[in-house]
Structures are given as C-alpha cells and as structure tokens.
Structure 1
Amino acid sequence: MSFFQVTPASMTDAQEITDLIIACDIDEYGVPDIVLQDTMDILQGLTLETDTWVIRDDASSRAIIGFAFCEQQAEGKLISYGYVHPQHKGRGIGSELLSYIERRSAVVARTPSGSLDGAWTLSNVIPALNEQATRLLTERGYQFVRLYSRMNIDLTEAPPEPMAVPEIVIAPFRQSQDEAFLFEAYRESFRDSRLYTEKTMEAWLEERNGAHHDRRLWFTAFEGSEIAGFLTSKNFGDHVYVDFLGVKPSYRKRGIGLALLQHVLQQAYSQGITKVMLSVDAASLTNAHKLYARAGMKALFQMAMYSKFLKEQN
C-alpha cells in the first residue's frame, strides 16, 4: 500500500524536476549536472502517463520531493533513474519509486524481447557512493554492473592547436554529405562496447536531432574517402557535452580520438564556452578515460549501474 500520492510527471513539472535533480546532484556530487533543457529532452522522449512518477510533499508547498522514470534503452533492456530530495531522505520515497519502476518493468517485460539471450534486464543508475541507494538495490536483487565517470575540463585559456595525425583529415561535420559516414563510424566504433545495440541510421540520427545537438561541434576524421572516426556534441550554452566520440578499430592508437577531442575544445572556446564535459565507462575496453585525461579532463564524480534479470522468454 502506497504511503505517498504518486502521479505521472507533466511537461509543466520540468522546472521543479530540474530543481529537485540539481539539489540531489549538489548533495551527492557537490556540483549540479543538469539544466532545464536536459529535463525537457528526457520528458519529451517518454510516455509520461506510464513511465514517469512524481511524489509531492504533503506539506502546503506541494513541492516535488521525488521523481523517477524508466525507459527502454534497447531491445530487452530497460533503464531507470530515481531522485529523492536530500531533505526527505529516510522516508521510504526511494523504495516507493523503485516499486513503481519495477511494476512498470514487469508489464513491459511481458512483451517479446529481441535480446540475444531472450531475457529482459532492468538497470538503475545511482551515485556510486550512495550507500542507502546501493543497499536498496542489492536488497531487491540488483547486482553491480559498472562504474561511469563524469569528466570535465574548464578552459581558463585558449586550448592548444589540435595535434596533426598523419594522413588523417579532421573537419567539421557536413549535414547532407556525412550522415551515412557518421553512422558507419558509430556502428564500427561502438559495436564492441557493452551498451551497443543495433539501430537503423534513421533512428540513430533522429536521436541526435534535439535542439542542443550543435552541428558546429560535430567533427569527422577521414583517411582519403574512408571514415576513421567521429565526434558529436550537445551545446547547452554554459557547457558542451560530448555525446559520442568513436574511432573505428582499424584506426585506433594513432591519436585520432585525442585530435577529435582537441577540435571540439577549440571550437567550444571559440564560441565563448569554457566548460566541456562527458561520461565514460570506467572499464572502457579502449581505455577512453586515459585519452580524456591526456586532453586535460578530470573526473568530477562517478555513477554506478546496477541491473537485474526480469524475465526469460519461453
């Protein structure tokens, strides 16, 4: 039985939800990690009635003190996030939100799965050092999967000129000419990563059509007519977020990834943006975190993913 009034989120809640997540970020990490447009992008990509949950304070303010959402990340894979205001921890709000997530996931998992092993999994991402959230998940049967580091650089002065890579030409993305090349590079660069899922080019490009996907901050690396690597970014005005940076396996260990990152740092600085951020799997098969460190980026904090098995198809 629920002790809280839980309702779906609405687009009019976006600012309150952003304020809640900022309060959680500052409490957990010491710095905010979201802006209003991030929240709006998240909500616009969800079925609000079934996949979002809001809990309001029972005091007269009726402020949002809890929020969670769940979405299908890929065939057979669900991912969820939950937030509880720091001043309202210990009231069972996180447990309540997780129960809603799991009930919804059970409904989704009754549909046929396209995953290779025929199973559905539900993942939850939490601050890596949050012992209460870790205990809640492990008690519900989740197991630790991986760590993610959020990395950042503050450009206090103009970044150095991007390094030259022999026989490689790095240039700004060309909207009508480079889309197929970009998708080819994405598929070959990320196919060996843990979170890769097959998508059509149209679907993948549609996901990169949000208002903040600034094509001026996208770059390609070619050797002759062959695509070698790529980088895509989001522009939030006060910071740039590197969305994808990939180098095809046959072109790795030549400095292409570092050169691509240096290009986006230079372009961001030229636009008056001094903060560039990204997330990286701490167990990346390509040791990407070392590349980012060579570019001057430092880890701000870590997030942990916990997952559990939901259903086996018969």
Structure 2
Amino acid sequence: MPPDPWTDELRLAPGGLRLRRPAWSDVAAVADLHAAAERARTGEVRTRTEDVRVRWLMLDGLEDVVLVEDVDAGHTLVGVGEYTTELDLLDEATVVHVEGQVHPAATGRGIATLLLDRADVRARDAATVEQAAAAVVRTTVVDGDDRARAWFTARGFVLVRHLLTMRLDLSEPAAAPSWPAGIATRRFRPGRDEERTWRAHQAAFGDVATHLPLTLEEWVEDRVLRDPAFDPSLTVLATDAAGEVVGLAVTRVGVEGAPEEGWIRDLGVVPAWRGRGLGMALLLDALHTFRTRGLTGAALDVDDVTIGAAVRLYERAGLRIVRRTDVVERLVATH
C-alpha cells in the first residue's frame, strides 16, 4: 500500500494541529477526551479507560488509530480517530469504518475534517490494492446528535441502516429456558469446538444481508483471539442428536460504560431449527447466566436488517429499546 501521509508524526496540520500515532500510554487521555465529548453532548459519560483499551486490542494494531494534538497548547489531545478496513464482497467495495471524537473545546478547527480526510485516503489506497470497484467511508451517528448528523449529511453521507440497543434490568427473576426436544447444550471448548461453532455461525447468519462471510481462520481471529473479553464459559452451544451445533449464544461480561452488565454479541439458530423455540431458550439461558454472575443488566444490538423478528423475540424476554445508532456512508472517488 502506498505510504499514508497522515501517519507522519512530524506533519503539522492547519491551525497548529499535529497528527501522530498513539502509544498504549495514551489510553487514559483518549478516554478522558471521549468523556468530555459525551458529557457535553448528553451529560452522561459512558466510555471508560478499559473500553478504549479493549477497542484498540480488537483493531489490527495501533496503526489504525490517529491522535490529533494542539501543538500551541502543549500538545494537548484534541481529537482521535479509529479506522478499520474491510472488503465488502457483495458490493465489491473496500469499506473504511471511522469512529472519531473531537474535544468540545476544540470544535470548529477542522479536526473532524482531518480525521475524515484520512479515512478517504485509506479507502482509496485499499481500493487500489484490492482492485475494488468502489471505495466507501462509513461511520455511526448516535440518535439525538443532530449536529453530527447535519455535518455528515452536508458532506455527502447517506443513511444505510441503523442499530437498536436493547437492555433488560436483571433485578427481577426470569423464566427458565425450555429446550426443544432433541437439543443438548454445553459450553464452548477451546481447541475442540472452533470449526463446528464457525459452521453454525455462518449458517445462522448467512441469510442476513449485512453478514460478512468469514473463513474459519478469520472467524477464530475475530471472535476468539482478538476479543479480549471472550470467555468460553459464556458461549453456549446447542447441539442436535448428531452432535452438530445448531444454535449458539456468544456473550460477555461488561459493556461499554457499564462493566456490571452482560452483553449478548451473537445469538443465532441455523435455518433448519428455527421456529422451535431454540432462540428464546438460548436467550433465557444467557440471561440466567448473567444473573448467577451477579450482573445488574443485559444488553445487545439489533441490526435493522433483522429488526422485526429479532426485536419481537427480545421484547418477549423483557428487553426494551434504549438507543438508536444510525450507520451512514459515502462513496469516495478512487481516481
């Protein structure tokens, strides 16, 4: 890939700003920046130092993060951008997902534009390397952040889908799971269950339009090796009489801004076993596990592609919608 001019640590941006690579010692300062922005926007701080550390661990490396400093203010941190790049096989496009944050005291200085420009550079370079037909930059806007929504709209971003965050207070007891006949359950066994769990995961989500097919190696890297919160005891596998995995629930302890809550990352059932109550049983089992561990709540995200049936399932278990996040994107000229 051609050299990225935005990674030059000596490069001065307009207005006395400087872009540089982060170090792990910057995690606390980045968390403070997020907290300042969240406090100004909603009055509620959700991002902790540990949340930033976990997000960075799940990136390919710190080269996927850029910090913006105010040189004239003693190199004070005023912005951060995190970037992930993937190849969308369905649309034959390279997609760069950018999540940026600007300190509220530094808005209006072109920092968000600098971070977005870097995403454009990455998208074009990746499209060249992959010989992709198109390059896309994608980001998210939290419901209620009208200023950010207007800013992205003015720069050609359009809404492509949205995510709903659902939550349940675990203070009240819940119904026990009722497993369909012929189903056995067990916890994930590292070193033994990777391939069969991967097959079930690909089958369970294969008919979702936004699903990105993964090889076994890619799935293990994404779901197990690169996820610092992965806990085999919190991954439940439902197997049929032949021992094949036909349903799974991948969960974790702790969500961003709420370490005392449980997070349901994946809950899926292979097509042949749908409509028999297996999804509800997996969900209730996950909620029961959270309660036995002393967690106070449970949360998950629902993509609008599966919003109808999924939301109805979760609502029957008591979860309610607490936040909407819009996914917006724009095409980037590759020539």
Q: Deviations over 1:163-221 (max 9, x none)?
A: 33333333322334432221111111111223322222122112223331111111112
Cα deviation, residue 302, structure 1: 1.1
Q: Deviations over 1:206-250 (max 9, x none)?
A: 222333111111111222123221111222352222111111122
The answer to whether residue 68 in structure 2 is matched with residue 65 in structure 1 is: no
The answer to whether residue 92 in structure 2 is matched with residue 80 in structure 1 is: no
Q: Which moved more, 1:59-68 or 1:81-90?
A: 59-68
Q: Taking structure 1 as reference, are residues 249 and 24 closer, same or farther at Cα in structure 2, changes over 3 Å only? A: farther
Instruction: Give the TM-score of the pair, scaled to structure 1.
Output: 0.87
What residue is the counterpart of 2:129 in the other structure?
Answer: 111
Q: Deviations over 1:126-148 (max 9, x none)?
A: 21332222222222222110111
What residue is the counterpart of 1:264 in the other structure?
Answer: 286
What residue is the counterpart of 1:294 in the other structure?
Answer: 316
What residue is the counterpart of 2:300 in the other structure?
Answer: 278
* Unpaired segments ≥5 residues, structure 2: 1-12, 89-93
What residue is the counterpart of 2:209 in the other structure?
Answer: 194
The one of 27, 43, 62 equivalent to 1:48 is 62
Q: Which moved more, 1:3-12 or 1:298-307?
A: 3-12
* Unpaired segments ≥5 residues, structure 1: none
Q: Taking structure 1 as reference, are residues 112 and 73 closer, same or farther at Cα in structure 2, changes over 3 Å only? A: closer
- After superposition, where does 1:228-239 map in structure 2 within 5 Å? 228-236=246-254, 237-239=259-261
What residue is the counterpart of 2:9 in the other structure?
Answer: none
Whether the 8 Å CA contact 1:173–1:218 is kept in 2: the answer is: yes
RMSD across aligned positions (CA): 2.6
Cα deviation, residue 55, structure 1: 2.2
Instruction: Give the TM-score of the pair, scaled to structure 2.
Output: 0.82
The one of 64, 79, 98 equivalent to 2:116 is 98
Q: Taking structure 1 as reference, are residues 311 and 60 closer, same or farther at Cα in structure 2, changes over 3 Å only? A: closer
Secondary structure of 1:160's aligned partner: coil
The answer to whether residue 50 in structure 2 is matched with residue 37 in structure 1 is: yes
Whether the 8 Å CA contact 2:167–2:300 is kept in 1: the answer is: yes
Tell me the percent identity: 24
Secondary structure of 1:5's aligned partner: strand
Secondary structure of 2:129's aligned partner: coil
Question: Could you tell me which amino acid in structure 1 is paired with residue 188 of structure 2?
Answer: F
The one of 173, 177, 182 equivalent to 1:158 is 173
Question: Could you tell me which amino acid in structure 2 is paired with residue 152 of structure 1?
Answer: R
Q: Taking structure 1 as reference, are residues 32 and 243 closer, same or farther at Cα in structure 2, changes over 3 Å only? A: farther
Question: Could you tell me which amino acid in structure 2 is paired with residue 227 of structure 1?
Answer: V
Q: Taking structure 1 as reference, are residues 156 and 297 closer, same or farther at Cα in structure 2, changes over 3 Å only? A: same
Secondary structure of 2:328's aligned partner: strand
Aligned length: 309
The answer to whether residue 136 in structure 2 is matched with residue 136 in structure 1 is: no
Q: Which moved more, 1:143-152 or 1:3-12?
A: 3-12
